[in-house]
Amino acid sequence: MAITTYLAASTRALAEEMERDPAVWALGEDLGRGGVFGQYKGLQQRFGAARIADTPISEACIMGAAVGAALAGTRPVVEMRFSDFALCATDELINQAAKARFMFGGQAKVPLVARQPVGMWRSSAAQHSQSLEAWYAHVPGLVVVAPGTPADNLGLLKSAIRADDPVVYLEHKDLWAAEGEVPDAEHLVPIGVADTAREGRDLTIVTWSGMRRRCLEAAGTLAAEGIEAEVIDLRTLWPWDRDRVLASVERTRRLLVVHEAVTVAGFGAEIAAFVAEHLHARLAAPVRRLGAPRIPVAYAPPLEDMARVSPEAIVAAARATTAPAAAIAS
Protein backbone atom coordinates (compact mmCIF):
# COMPACT_ATOMS: atom_id res chain seq x y z
CA MET A 1 0.00 0.00 0.00
CA ALA A 2 1.07 3.57 -0.67
CA ILE A 3 -0.34 6.95 0.30
CA THR A 4 -1.48 8.91 -2.72
CA THR A 5 -4.00 11.56 -3.66
CA TYR A 6 -7.39 11.16 -5.28
CA LEU A 7 -6.03 13.07 -8.29
CA ALA A 8 -2.86 10.98 -8.65
CA ALA A 9 -4.89 7.79 -8.34
CA SER A 10 -6.98 8.78 -11.35
CA THR A 11 -3.87 9.61 -13.39
CA ARG A 12 -2.40 6.23 -12.55
CA ALA A 13 -5.65 4.45 -13.45
CA LEU A 14 -5.80 6.00 -16.91
CA ALA A 15 -2.11 5.40 -17.57
CA GLU A 16 -2.35 1.73 -16.56
CA GLU A 17 -5.39 1.17 -18.76
CA MET A 18 -3.71 2.87 -21.73
CA GLU A 19 -0.70 0.64 -21.25
CA ARG A 20 -2.92 -2.43 -21.03
CA ASP A 21 -5.24 -1.67 -23.95
CA PRO A 22 -4.21 0.35 -27.05
CA ALA A 23 -7.91 1.06 -27.74
CA VAL A 24 -8.06 3.34 -24.66
CA TRP A 25 -7.49 7.03 -25.29
CA ALA A 26 -8.63 10.37 -23.87
CA LEU A 27 -9.96 13.57 -25.39
CA GLY A 28 -10.90 16.97 -24.05
CA GLU A 29 -9.82 20.55 -23.64
CA ASP A 30 -6.23 21.30 -22.59
CA LEU A 31 -5.31 17.70 -21.80
CA GLY A 32 -1.83 18.31 -23.17
CA ARG A 33 -1.32 20.86 -20.42
CA GLY A 34 -2.54 18.38 -17.83
CA GLY A 35 -6.23 19.21 -17.74
CA VAL A 36 -7.94 21.87 -15.67
CA PHE A 37 -7.03 20.15 -12.37
CA GLY A 38 -3.78 18.46 -13.47
CA GLN A 39 -5.26 14.97 -13.62
CA TYR A 40 -3.72 14.37 -17.09
CA LYS A 41 -0.31 15.78 -16.25
CA GLY A 42 2.47 14.03 -18.16
CA LEU A 43 0.18 11.69 -20.07
CA GLN A 44 0.44 13.38 -23.47
CA GLN A 45 4.22 13.32 -23.23
CA ARG A 46 4.05 9.63 -22.37
CA PHE A 47 1.41 8.44 -24.86
CA GLY A 48 1.42 11.08 -27.59
CA ALA A 49 -1.09 13.63 -28.85
CA ALA A 50 -3.10 11.02 -30.75
CA ARG A 51 -4.05 9.21 -27.53
CA ILE A 52 -4.22 12.21 -25.18
CA ALA A 53 -6.00 14.45 -27.64
CA ASP A 54 -6.67 18.16 -27.27
CA THR A 55 -10.02 19.25 -28.68
CA PRO A 56 -11.88 22.45 -29.59
CA ILE A 57 -13.90 24.20 -26.89
CA SER A 58 -17.14 22.40 -27.72
CA GLU A 59 -18.56 19.82 -25.35
CA ALA A 60 -21.02 18.61 -27.99
CA CYS A 61 -18.14 18.09 -30.43
CA ILE A 62 -16.06 16.26 -27.82
CA MET A 63 -18.85 13.92 -26.76
CA GLY A 64 -20.07 13.36 -30.30
CA ALA A 65 -16.59 12.39 -31.46
CA ALA A 66 -16.24 10.04 -28.50
CA VAL A 67 -19.58 8.34 -29.20
CA GLY A 68 -18.57 7.72 -32.80
CA ALA A 69 -15.14 6.48 -31.79
CA ALA A 70 -16.66 4.12 -29.22
CA LEU A 71 -19.07 2.73 -31.79
CA ALA A 72 -16.07 2.19 -34.07
CA GLY A 73 -14.32 0.01 -31.51
CA THR A 74 -12.18 2.26 -29.31
CA ARG A 75 -12.61 3.09 -25.61
CA PRO A 76 -12.55 6.86 -25.23
CA VAL A 77 -12.24 8.66 -21.90
CA VAL A 78 -14.06 11.96 -22.30
CA GLU A 79 -12.99 14.89 -20.13
CA MET A 80 -15.80 17.39 -19.53
CA ARG A 81 -13.81 19.65 -17.16
CA PHE A 82 -16.90 20.39 -15.00
CA SER A 83 -20.18 18.47 -14.79
CA ASP A 84 -21.94 21.77 -15.39
CA PHE A 85 -20.22 22.08 -18.80
CA ALA A 86 -21.28 18.55 -19.72
CA LEU A 87 -24.85 19.80 -20.01
CA CYS A 88 -23.83 21.09 -23.45
CA ALA A 89 -23.26 17.47 -24.47
CA THR A 90 -26.37 15.83 -23.04
CA ASP A 91 -27.95 15.04 -26.42
CA GLU A 92 -24.89 13.07 -27.54
CA LEU A 93 -24.63 11.30 -24.18
CA ILE A 94 -28.30 10.69 -23.36
CA ASN A 95 -29.95 10.34 -26.76
CA GLN A 96 -27.10 8.58 -28.55
CA ALA A 97 -24.63 6.84 -26.23
CA ALA A 98 -27.17 5.65 -23.65
CA LYS A 99 -29.60 4.24 -26.22
CA ALA A 100 -27.35 2.79 -28.94
CA ARG A 101 -27.04 -0.75 -27.54
CA PHE A 102 -30.83 -1.03 -27.15
CA MET A 103 -31.76 0.60 -30.44
CA PHE A 104 -29.34 -1.57 -32.43
CA GLY A 105 -30.52 -4.76 -30.76
CA GLY A 106 -27.21 -5.37 -29.00
CA GLN A 107 -25.19 -5.20 -32.23
CA ALA A 108 -23.41 -2.03 -31.12
CA LYS A 109 -21.95 -0.79 -27.86
CA VAL A 110 -20.61 2.56 -26.64
CA PRO A 111 -17.83 1.86 -24.12
CA LEU A 112 -16.94 5.42 -23.17
CA VAL A 113 -16.25 7.09 -19.84
CA ALA A 114 -17.51 10.65 -19.38
CA ARG A 115 -15.44 12.17 -16.57
CA GLN A 116 -17.38 14.99 -14.93
CA PRO A 117 -15.89 16.76 -11.89
CA VAL A 118 -18.78 17.59 -9.56
CA GLY A 119 -19.64 19.39 -6.37
CA MET A 120 -18.79 22.51 -4.43
CA TRP A 121 -15.20 23.73 -4.46
CA ARG A 122 -13.91 27.01 -2.98
CA SER A 123 -16.26 29.71 -4.29
CA SER A 124 -16.84 28.28 -7.75
CA ALA A 125 -20.36 29.77 -7.88
CA ALA A 126 -23.60 28.57 -9.43
CA GLN A 127 -22.26 27.37 -12.81
CA HIS A 128 -19.33 25.34 -11.45
CA SER A 129 -20.65 23.75 -8.25
CA GLN A 130 -23.51 21.43 -9.13
CA SER A 131 -24.06 17.77 -8.27
CA LEU A 132 -26.21 16.34 -11.04
CA GLU A 133 -25.94 12.61 -10.44
CA ALA A 134 -29.71 12.13 -10.20
CA TRP A 135 -30.12 13.35 -13.79
CA TYR A 136 -27.90 10.58 -15.11
CA ALA A 137 -29.18 7.85 -12.80
CA HIS A 138 -32.62 8.55 -14.29
CA VAL A 139 -31.46 7.67 -17.84
CA PRO A 140 -31.70 4.01 -18.93
CA GLY A 141 -28.45 2.82 -20.49
CA LEU A 142 -26.05 4.87 -18.39
CA VAL A 143 -23.83 3.60 -15.59
CA VAL A 144 -23.20 6.21 -12.88
CA VAL A 145 -20.11 6.08 -10.65
CA ALA A 146 -19.09 8.43 -7.83
CA PRO A 147 -15.83 7.46 -6.04
CA GLY A 148 -15.11 8.95 -2.63
CA THR A 149 -11.53 7.81 -1.89
CA PRO A 150 -8.22 7.62 -3.77
CA ALA A 151 -8.33 3.80 -3.83
CA ASP A 152 -11.84 3.83 -5.23
CA ASN A 153 -10.91 6.45 -7.80
CA LEU A 154 -8.17 4.13 -8.98
CA GLY A 155 -10.18 0.94 -8.98
CA LEU A 156 -13.47 2.32 -10.25
CA LEU A 157 -11.96 4.34 -13.10
CA LYS A 158 -10.20 1.19 -14.31
CA SER A 159 -13.46 -0.77 -14.09
CA ALA A 160 -15.34 2.04 -15.86
CA ILE A 161 -12.87 2.04 -18.75
CA ARG A 162 -13.29 -1.72 -19.13
CA ALA A 163 -17.12 -1.53 -19.06
CA ASP A 164 -19.01 -1.99 -22.32
CA ASP A 165 -21.65 0.61 -21.50
CA PRO A 166 -21.30 4.41 -21.28
CA VAL A 167 -20.22 5.41 -17.78
CA VAL A 168 -20.83 8.83 -16.26
CA TYR A 169 -17.87 9.11 -13.92
CA LEU A 170 -18.31 11.77 -11.23
CA GLU A 171 -15.15 12.88 -9.42
CA HIS A 172 -15.59 15.40 -6.61
CA LYS A 173 -13.51 18.53 -7.11
CA ASP A 174 -12.97 18.99 -3.40
CA LEU A 175 -11.33 15.55 -3.18
CA TRP A 176 -8.48 16.05 -5.66
CA ALA A 177 -5.95 16.67 -2.87
CA ALA A 178 -7.43 14.08 -0.48
CA GLU A 179 -4.94 11.39 0.47
CA GLY A 180 -5.44 7.73 1.27
CA GLU A 181 -3.97 4.25 1.01
CA VAL A 182 -3.92 2.78 -2.47
CA PRO A 183 -2.68 -0.72 -3.38
CA ASP A 184 0.60 -0.85 -5.26
CA ALA A 185 -0.56 -3.85 -7.29
CA GLU A 186 -3.38 -4.05 -9.84
CA HIS A 187 -6.54 -2.74 -8.18
CA LEU A 188 -10.07 -3.04 -9.53
CA VAL A 189 -13.26 -2.07 -7.70
CA PRO A 190 -16.35 -3.77 -9.15
CA ILE A 191 -19.16 -1.54 -10.35
CA GLY A 192 -22.32 -1.90 -8.29
CA VAL A 193 -20.69 -2.89 -4.98
CA ALA A 194 -20.93 -0.51 -2.02
CA ASP A 195 -18.35 -0.12 0.75
CA THR A 196 -19.19 -0.26 4.44
CA ALA A 197 -16.94 2.58 5.56
CA ARG A 198 -17.89 2.21 9.24
CA GLU A 199 -19.93 -0.44 11.03
CA GLY A 200 -22.69 0.45 13.48
CA ARG A 201 -25.83 -0.86 15.13
CA ASP A 202 -28.10 2.16 15.70
CA LEU A 203 -28.47 3.89 12.35
CA THR A 204 -27.56 3.36 8.70
CA ILE A 205 -26.17 6.40 6.87
CA VAL A 206 -26.00 5.94 3.10
CA THR A 207 -23.89 8.38 1.11
CA TRP A 208 -21.37 8.73 -1.73
CA SER A 209 -18.63 10.93 -3.17
CA GLY A 210 -17.51 13.93 -1.09
CA MET A 211 -20.09 13.26 1.62
CA ARG A 212 -18.33 10.05 2.66
CA ARG A 213 -15.71 11.83 4.75
CA ARG A 214 -18.26 14.22 6.28
CA CYS A 215 -20.51 11.33 7.24
CA LEU A 216 -17.56 9.56 8.84
CA GLU A 217 -16.72 12.72 10.77
CA ALA A 218 -20.34 12.94 11.92
CA ALA A 219 -20.31 9.26 12.88
CA GLY A 220 -17.32 9.91 15.12
CA THR A 221 -19.23 12.68 16.89
CA LEU A 222 -22.29 10.46 17.26
CA ALA A 223 -20.20 7.61 18.69
CA ALA A 224 -19.05 9.90 21.49
CA GLU A 225 -22.75 10.33 22.33
CA GLY A 226 -23.38 6.59 22.31
CA ILE A 227 -24.96 6.43 18.85
CA GLU A 228 -23.18 3.94 16.60
CA ALA A 229 -23.87 4.80 12.97
CA GLU A 230 -23.07 2.48 10.10
CA VAL A 231 -21.80 4.45 7.10
CA ILE A 232 -22.28 2.92 3.65
CA ASP A 233 -20.57 4.54 0.68
CA LEU A 234 -22.50 3.45 -2.42
CA ARG A 235 -19.59 4.27 -4.77
CA THR A 236 -21.85 3.39 -7.71
CA LEU A 237 -25.24 5.06 -8.09
CA TRP A 238 -26.38 2.93 -10.99
CA PRO A 239 -26.39 0.11 -10.43
CA TRP A 240 -26.49 0.64 -6.66
CA ASP A 241 -25.95 -2.00 -4.00
CA ARG A 242 -29.50 -2.54 -2.82
CA ASP A 243 -28.70 -5.76 -0.97
CA ARG A 244 -26.05 -4.17 1.24
CA VAL A 245 -28.27 -1.22 2.09
CA LEU A 246 -31.29 -3.40 2.86
CA ALA A 247 -29.21 -5.75 5.03
CA SER A 248 -27.84 -2.83 7.03
CA VAL A 249 -31.19 -1.10 7.52
CA GLU A 250 -32.81 -4.38 8.51
CA ARG A 251 -30.32 -4.52 11.39
CA THR A 252 -30.33 -0.86 12.44
CA ARG A 253 -34.00 -0.21 11.55
CA ARG A 254 -33.17 3.41 10.76
CA LEU A 255 -31.95 5.11 7.60
CA LEU A 256 -30.49 8.52 6.84
CA VAL A 257 -29.45 9.25 3.24
CA VAL A 258 -26.95 12.09 2.85
CA HIS A 259 -25.90 13.76 -0.40
CA GLU A 260 -24.50 17.11 -1.49
CA ALA A 261 -26.99 17.48 -4.33
CA VAL A 262 -30.26 19.35 -3.90
CA THR A 263 -32.65 17.30 -1.78
CA VAL A 264 -35.61 17.80 -4.13
CA ALA A 265 -35.69 14.85 -6.58
CA GLY A 266 -32.14 13.88 -5.53
CA PHE A 267 -30.98 10.27 -5.80
CA GLY A 268 -31.54 9.93 -2.06
CA ALA A 269 -35.27 9.85 -2.79
CA GLU A 270 -34.80 6.65 -4.82
CA ILE A 271 -32.95 4.99 -1.95
CA ALA A 272 -35.45 6.18 0.64
CA ALA A 273 -38.43 4.99 -1.39
CA PHE A 274 -36.87 1.61 -2.14
CA VAL A 275 -36.04 0.95 1.51
CA ALA A 276 -39.46 2.14 2.69
CA GLU A 277 -41.19 -0.15 0.18
CA HIS A 278 -39.21 -3.20 1.23
CA LEU A 279 -38.71 -2.69 4.97
CA HIS A 280 -41.62 -0.51 6.08
CA ALA A 281 -42.73 -3.01 8.72
CA ARG A 282 -39.20 -3.22 10.16
CA LEU A 283 -38.40 0.48 10.45
CA ALA A 284 -38.23 2.02 13.90
CA ALA A 285 -38.32 5.57 12.53
CA PRO A 286 -39.25 7.30 9.27
CA VAL A 287 -36.59 7.29 6.59
CA ARG A 288 -34.85 10.66 6.49
CA ARG A 289 -33.00 12.49 3.70
CA LEU A 290 -30.44 15.26 4.02
CA GLY A 291 -29.25 17.31 1.07
CA ALA A 292 -28.83 20.86 -0.13
CA PRO A 293 -31.67 23.37 -0.32
CA ARG A 294 -33.11 24.06 -3.77
CA ILE A 295 -31.02 27.17 -4.38
CA PRO A 296 -28.17 28.05 -6.75
CA VAL A 297 -24.73 27.85 -5.12
CA ALA A 298 -23.46 31.36 -4.41
CA TYR A 299 -19.91 32.66 -4.90
CA ALA A 300 -19.70 34.46 -1.54
CA PRO A 301 -18.44 32.00 1.11
CA PRO A 302 -21.12 32.80 3.73
CA LEU A 303 -23.87 32.24 1.16
CA GLU A 304 -22.09 29.21 -0.26
CA ASP A 305 -22.03 27.68 3.21
CA MET A 306 -25.82 27.88 3.32
CA ALA A 307 -25.90 25.26 0.54
CA ARG A 308 -23.34 22.97 2.16
CA VAL A 309 -24.23 19.77 3.98
CA SER A 310 -21.98 19.96 7.03
CA PRO A 311 -20.98 17.29 9.54
CA GLU A 312 -22.99 19.24 12.10
CA ALA A 313 -26.12 19.00 9.95
CA ILE A 314 -25.54 15.27 9.53
CA VAL A 315 -25.21 14.84 13.29
CA ALA A 316 -28.46 16.76 13.86
CA ALA A 317 -30.34 14.65 11.31
CA ALA A 318 -28.93 11.46 12.82
CA ARG A 319 -29.98 12.52 16.31
CA ALA A 320 -33.50 13.18 15.06
CA THR A 321 -33.63 9.79 13.32
CA THR A 322 -32.49 7.89 16.40
CA ALA A 323 -34.63 9.83 18.89
CA PRO A 324 -37.33 7.95 20.83
CA ALA A 325 -40.65 7.55 19.02
CA ALA A 326 -42.34 10.17 21.22
CA ALA A 327 -39.72 12.76 20.31
CA ILE A 328 -40.03 11.92 16.60
CA ALA A 329 -43.81 12.27 16.78
CA SER A 330 -43.54 15.64 18.45
Please tell me the CATH code under which domain 2-182 is placed: 3.40.50.970
Parse the chain into domains and list their residue ranges.
Answer: 2-182, 195-329
Q: What is the pLDDT of residue 313?
A: 94
CATH number of the 195-329 domain: 3.40.50.920
Which of 128, 172, 187, 259 is the catalytic position? 128
Write the secondary structure of the chain as one string of H (helix), E (strand) and C (coil): CEEEEHHHHHHHHHHHHHHHCCCEEEEECCHHHCCCCCCCCCHHHHHCCCCEEECCCCHHHHHHHHHHHHHCCCEEEEECCCCCHHHHHHHHHHHHHCCHHHHCCCCCCCCCEEECCECCCCCCCCCCCCCCHHHHHCCCCCEEECCCCHHHHHHHHHHHHHCCCCEEECCEHHHCCCEEEECCCCCCCCCCCCEEEECCCCEEEEECCCHHHHHHHHHHHHHHCCCCEEEEECCEEECCCHHHHHHHHHHHCCEEEEEEEECCCCHHHHHHHHHHHHHCCCCCCCCEEEEECCCCCCCCHHHHHHCCCCHHHHHHHHHHHHCCHHHHHC
Intrachain domains 2-182 and 195-329 with the same fold: yes
| 138 belongs to the catalytic site | no
Residue ranges in the chain whose pLDDT is less than 70: 325-330
